[in-house]
Amino acid sequence: MATAKEISTLLFEDVAVGDELPELVKNPDTKQLVRYAGASQDFVAIHYDQNVAAAAGHPKVIIHGALKSAWLGELVTGWMGSGGRLLELDVSYRMIDFPDDVATCVGKVTDARIENGVGLVELEIGLRQTDGTISTPGRALVSLPSREIL
């Protein structure tokens, strides 16, 4: 088992505006959507019933918006490590995403500042479709520990 000292911690001083977060690739399938529906109690049929999706004009069932938001949260929390705190996460569902299409979570640092002794980092995040379109843009604000404040 890893000790607290062995767990990676991102420090405020290690971050610069323009830094890109490591991409988080998701390969969703219909089975995952059914599992998510059960876990979240979101049983809207358009997420798992092909006939309902087709009646709404979609070629396939559609991915839950909240699941896409969760993936973006995973991107941010994985990047910031155990020493960071996710303070804000905002996303906008601009386009529909479908299972069996690769969904890539991306992000970059847009601001880094010290406020009231706290290292704050603003991120632009998004879910990128295979054609490069960002279907679910968003932003996050995290606090990171600082060498200066430790």
Q: What is the CATH number of the domain that holds 119?
A: 3.10.129.10
Task: Give tens-digit pLDDT for 29-43.
Answer: 999 999 999 999 999
23 located within any domain? yes
Total domains present in the chain: 1
117 within domain boundaries: yes
Give this prediction's pTM: 0.91
Which tokens hold the place of 150?
Answer: 């430790």
Instruction: Look at residue 4 and tell me if it is in a domain.
Output: no
Residue 64 domain-assigned (yes or no)? yes
Q: Which domain holds residue 95?
A: 12-144
In-domain check, residue 132: yes
Residue-wise pLDDT tens digits, 66-116: 999 999 999 999 999 999 999 999 999 999 999 999 999 999 999 999 998
Is 150 domain-assigned?
no
1 domain residue, yes or no: no
